[in-house]
Amino acid sequence: MKMATYSVLSGSVALITLQNPPVNALSEAVRTGITDAVQRTLKDPQVTSVVICGQNGRFCGGADIREFAGPMSGPPLVPMIHALEAMEKPVVAAIEGLALGGGLELALGCHYRIAHSQALLGLPEVTLGLLPAAGGSQRLPRLIGLPAALDLITTGRHISASEALKLGIVDQVTDDNALKMAVEFARSVVGQPLGPRRLSTRPCHSPPDVDSVLDQALAQVWQRGRGALAPVACVGALRAAATLPYAQGMEKERELMATLFNSGQARALQYAFFSQRVVGKWQPSGARWDNSTTRTIRKAAVIGLGTMGRGIVVALALAGVSVVAVESQEKQLAAARQMVPEMLQRGAGRRGLDTPPGVISFSSGLEDVSEVELVIEAVFEDMALKRRIFSRLATVCRPGTVLCSNTSGLDIDQLAEATQNPALVVGMHFFAPAHVMKLLEVVCGPRSSPEAVATAMVLGKRMGKVSVAVGNCPGFVGNRMLKPYMEQANFLLEEGATPQQVDEALEGFGFPMGVFRMSDLSGLDVGWRVRKEAGLTEQGVEPTRMRQGQRYSPLPDQMCEGGRLGQKTGRGWYRYDGPGGRVARSDPWVQNFLETYRARHGLVPRRIATEEILERCLYALTNEGFNILQDGVAAGPEDIDVIYVFGYGWPRHRGGPMFHAGQVGLARVLEKLEHYQHSHPDVPHLKPSSLLRRLVAAGSPPVQKWREFISKDRVHSQL
Ligand SMILES: CCCCCCC/C=C/C(=O)SCCNC(=O)CCNC(=O)[C@H](O)C(C)(C)COP(=O)(O)OP(=O)(O)OC[C@H]1O[C@@H](n2cnc3c(N)ncnc32)[C@H](O)[C@@H]1OP(=O)(O)O
C-alpha cells in the first residue's frame, strides 16, 4: 500500500513514515498521507515533536517521476512542506539510505536533519530537466550559502552524509540507527525556539561579488550543458534566492519550473532515466536479468594491450577482478607495464580508494591465462588474427572459461566457430577509454549460451558500465548506425561543405564533438582498417565514387593514404600542434584537397544549409536504428538510445536518436528521408526503413509503445 503512516511513539513523538517502495517517492498517496499526518499532529496535544522517516531504510527518492506524465492531482508539495516548516513542534527528518530531489526538499522543510553515515543526499532534478521546485532552490542557499548550492543544484550530484554534514545540510550523522537517534533528538529539542530553524525565514548569505559568482556559474553551465535548459534555469532560481526576498524567490522558482516542466528536454531526460532502467531488465538469448545463472569472475585475462586493452585491464582491476594482461609485442608490453599502474592509481583515487582492489600481472604469452575464468580479447580488428587467438585460447584455458571479444563490429559467430565450445563466446564491446566510458555492448552470438551472456552482463555492471545486450551483425548497434551517419558527412564534403561546417552543425545540436573532430581523435585508420577488411578500399572496375554498386566516398581513404590519420599524426581533417596535439585548427591543406577532389570528379560545390547537414546525418543514422529494431538486433528503442547517449555523445537532453525521431514526428522523418533518397538514389542508407513506414501508417505511436508494436508486427509477419 503506497501512503504515509502516522503513529505516536511513547505518547509524545509523532512518527510519519513514507511508504512507497522501492524509493518512497512522493506520489499523490504519500503526499496525502503526509498532509493528513501533519493535521493529526497539530490536533494532538500529547504530541510534542515529530519525526519523518522512510520505510525499509530509504528516506525518499523525490517526487514520483512517473506522475509527471499525467495531470497533477493531490496535495502539491510546496504548501505541504510549508505546513511542516510552520509547525510549532520540532520536526526532525531521519535520513536513511537516500534523500534525493523532493525528498531532500522535504527534509529541508524540517527543522532538523539526522542522517545515517551511508545515506546519499542530493538535488538531482537538473538531470531530469527540472529544478528543485519544492522550495529547494530557495532553502538550500539559505542553509549552505550560494556557491555550494550552485554546485549541488546545477550538477545534481549525490553527496555522502559526511559531506552533507561538512556543508551544514544535516545536523548529525550516525553509524547507528538514524531513526532511533532522530527520535531521541526530537525529544531533546522540544521547547527550543524554532524560528532560526525555519530556512525560509533566513537571509541568503551571498558573497560580496554575487553577480560575478552567478555569471561565472552561468558561463560554466552553458559550456557544460551543450544547449541544456535546466542548468541555466537552476542558476536563474539561485539568482532569485540571492537577490530577492523568499516569497519572490519562490514565485521565480515556480515560473522557471513551469517552463521546464513542459519542455521537450524534460520529457527527453525523464525518458533517458527510465530507458536506462528498461535496458537494465535485459533478457536476450534466454538469459534474464533477474534469474540467470552467472559465473562469478574473480580472475580474468585481457589479450592485447593497446589503448583499448589497457583500459579494460584497469576497469577490471577497479572492479576487484585479478587480471592477467597479455601482450606479445615487447614494446607494447613495456608501455603497458608503465601506463597501466598509473591509470589504475588515478582511477582508484577518483573512487576514493587508497589501493586498487584487483591485482594485475603482465605476460607475453597466452599460456599464462590457463587459470582464469574469463578472457577478453582486445587485439586489433583482424578476423584471421582473432580467430587464431580464439582457437588457441580454446586449448589453453580450462573448460568452461568464458571467451569474449572486444571487437567493435566483427562477426562473433565466426570467432565462436574457431573454438570447441561456441556457447561460451560473447562480445564485450567497450568504448575508449574503456576505464572511463560507461557503455558496454554485450554481443550475443547465435550460439552464445544464456550463462555466458548473463556472465558478461553482470561483469559489465560490476565494472560500473551500462551494459546493453545486442545481437550479432556487422557493427552491432552503435557502429552499424554510425556508418550511414559518417557516410553522409563525407558526401556533404564532396558536395561543398567543409569539415568545420559539418562539425559546427552537429556540435550546435549538442554533440560534444562533430564527426570529423571525433574521427581525428579516434584515428582515421580505425575505419580505414575496417573498410579494407570489407574490400571497400579496392577500386576494381567501378568508378572511383562507387563501390559494390553504391555511392562511396574515397575521401577518408585518401586522407589515410597521405598519412593524415588525425591527432596522432598531427594532421587529419584539422591540423594540430604536432603529433598528439589536441587543439583542432582549420587547415588550408584540407580546403585545397577538397577543392581539387571536387574539380577532378566534376562536382560543383554548393552552399549547404545547417538544416540539411543535420537532417541527412541524423536521419540516416536513425533510419538504420529502425532497421536494427526490425532485425531484432536491439530489443527496443530504449536500448539504441542508451547506447547513443552513453557511447556516442548523443545529447542526453535530446533523449537519443529514436526518441528524437518521435519528437520530430515520424511522418516528418519519413518525408525527409524520401526527399533525400529521391536526390541521392545511389545511397541505400537513405531508403526509409519499412518499420518506419509501418509505424507511420499505424499513426506514429509514442516511443514507449514501439516494443509492443514490433513484437506484434513480428508475429503478424510470421503468420
Ligand atoms: C509542478 C510540479 C512541482 C513538483 C516539484 C518537484 C520538485 C521535485 C522534483 C523531484 O524530486 S524529481 C525526482 C528527483 N529524484 C531523482 O532524480 C532520483 C531518481 N532515482 C534514482 O536516481 C535512483 O532510482 C535511486 C533513487 C538512486 C535508486 O537507485 P537504485 O539503483 O537502487 O534503483 P533503481 O533501479 O534506479 O530504481 C528502482 C525503481 O524505482 C524507480 N524510481 C526511482 N526513483 C523514482 C522516482 N523519484 N519516482 C518514481 N520512480 C522512481 C525506478 O524507476 C525503478 O523502477 P523499476 O524500473 O523497478 O520499475
Protein residue with least CA distance to atom 57, ligand 1: 277
Strands 91-95 and 49-54: parallel
Strands 546-547 and 550-551: antiparallel
Q: pLDDT at residue 542 above 80?
A: no
Q: pLDDT at residue 717 above 80?
A: no
Overall CATH class of domain 610-718: mainly alpha
Distance 554 CA to ligand 1 centre (A): 48
Q: pLDDT at residue 716 above 80?
A: no
Distance 536 CA to ligand 1 centre (A): 48
Across the range 33-51, mean pLDDT stands at 96
- Residue 625 CB less than 6 A away from ligand 1: no
- Condensed to tens digits (0 to 9), the pLDDT of residues 231-256 reads 999 999 999 999 999 999 999 999 99
Distance CA 469, CA 642 (A): 11
pLDDT at 353: 83
Q: pLDDT at residue 526 above 70?
A: yes
Residues in a beta bridge with 603: none
pLDDT at 5: 95
Catalytically active residues are 105, 125
Closest CA to 476 of 429, 524, 431, 523: 429
- Condensed to tens digits (0 to 9), the pLDDT of residues 644-699 reads 999 999 999 999 999 999 999 999 999 999 999 999 999 999 999 999 999 999 99
Distance CA 467, CA 3 (A): 34
| Ligand 1 pocket: which of 65, 120, 128, 260 to mutate (most atoms within 8 A of CB) | 65
| Ligand 1 pocket: which of 23, 259, 278 to mutate (most atoms within 8 A of CB) | 23
- Condensed to tens digits (0 to 9), the pLDDT of residues 447-472 reads 999 999 999 999 999 999 999 999 99
SS (H, E, C) 669-704: HHHHHHHHHHHCCCCHHHCCCHHHHHHHHCCCCCHH
- Residue 77 CB less than 6 A away from ligand 1: yes
What is the sign, positive or negative, of the torsion defined by CA atoms of 331, 334, 339, 344? positive
pLDDT at 543: 74
- Residue 62 CB less than 6 A away from ligand 1: yes
Residues of the chain with pLDDT > 90: what percent? 91
Across the range 338-352, mean pLDDT stands at 91
ipTM of the complex: 0.99
pLDDT at 2: 64
Residue 586: how many CB atoms within 10 A of its CB? 13
Across the range 43-56, mean pLDDT stands at 97
Across the range 79-92, mean pLDDT stands at 97
Strands 49-54 and 13-19: parallel
CATH (one of 3.40.50.970, 3.30.70.2860, 3.40.50.720, 2.170.120.20) for 299-470: 3.40.50.720
- Top-confidence residue, 225 or 576: 576
Asked if residue 235 lies in contact with residue 218, where contact means CB atoms within 8 angstroms, the answer is: yes
- Residue 75 CB less than 6 A away from ligand 1: no
| 497-600 and 610-718 have identical folds | yes
What is the sign, positive or negative, of the torsion defined by CA atoms of 612, 613, 614, 619? positive
Residues in a beta bridge with 4: 18
Across the range 489-500, mean pLDDT stands at 98
Q: pLDDT at residue 72 above 90?
A: no
Confidence of residue 714 (pLDDT cuts 50, 70, 90): confident
Q: pLDDT at residue 598 above 80?
A: yes
Q: Where are the domains of the chain?
A: 4-262, 299-470, 497-600, 610-718
| Vertex 223 angle, CA 219 and 229, to 5° | 85
Across the range 473-480, mean pLDDT stands at 96
Q: pLDDT at residue 719 above 70?
A: no
- Condensed to tens digits (0 to 9), the pLDDT of residues 264-305 reads 999 999 999 999 999 999 999 889 999 999 999 999 999 999
State the closest ligand 1 atom to the C-alpha of 274, by its place in the atom list counted from 1: 53
Distance 123 CA to ligand 1 centre (A): 12
State the closest ligand 1 atom to the C-alpha of 63, by its place in the atom list counted from 1: 11
Overall CATH class of domain 4-262: alpha beta
Q: pLDDT at residue 593 above 90?
A: yes
Q: pLDDT at residue 117 above 80?
A: yes
Q: Which residue has the cell 594485475?
A: 360
Protein residue with least CA distance to atom 54, ligand 1: 277
| Mean pLDDT, all residues of the chain | 95
Distance CA 410, CA 473 (A): 8
- Residue 254 CB less than 6 A away from ligand 1: no
Question: Considering only 223-227, 230-234, 500-504, which range has the smallest mean pLDDT?
Answer: 223-227
**What is the pTM assigned to this prediction?**
0.95
Strands 98-100 and 120-122: parallel
3-state SS assignment for residue 427: strand
Which ranges of 127-206 would DSSP assign to H, the alpha helix?
A: 136-144, 146-155, 161-167, 178-188
Three cell numbers, residue 616: 541527412
pLDDT at 1: 60
Closest CA to 181 of 109, 117, 115, 278: 115
Distance CA 213, CA 196 (A): 27
| Cβ partners under 8 Å of residue 116, min gap 6 | 95, 96, 97, 161, 173, 174, 175, 178
Exposure of 500 in the CB half-sphere (CA atoms within 13 A): 9
Distance 456 CA to ligand 1 centre (A): 27
- Top-confidence residue, 541 or 360: 360
- Residue 638 CB less than 6 A away from ligand 1: no
Strands 425-430 and 439-444: antiparallel
Assess whether the previous peptide bond of 422 is cis (omega < 30° from 0): no
Confidence of residue 540 (pLDDT cuts 50, 70, 90): confident
- Condensed to tens digits (0 to 9), the pLDDT of residues 502-523 reads 999 999 999 999 999 999 999 9
- Condensed to tens digits (0 to 9), the pLDDT of residues 295-318 reads 999 999 999 999 999 999 999 999
- Residue 388 CB less than 6 A away from ligand 1: no
pLDDT at 718: 66
- Residue 61 CB less than 6 A away from ligand 1: yes
User: Is 497-600 a CATH 3.40.50.300 domain?
Assistant: no
Residues of the chain with pLDDT > 70: what percent? 99
Asked if residue 143 lies in contact with residue 168, where contact means CB atoms within 8 angstroms, the answer is: yes
Protein residue with least CA distance to atom 3, ligand 1: 133
Distance 21 CA to ligand 1 centre (A): 11
Distance CA 405, CA 399 (A): 18
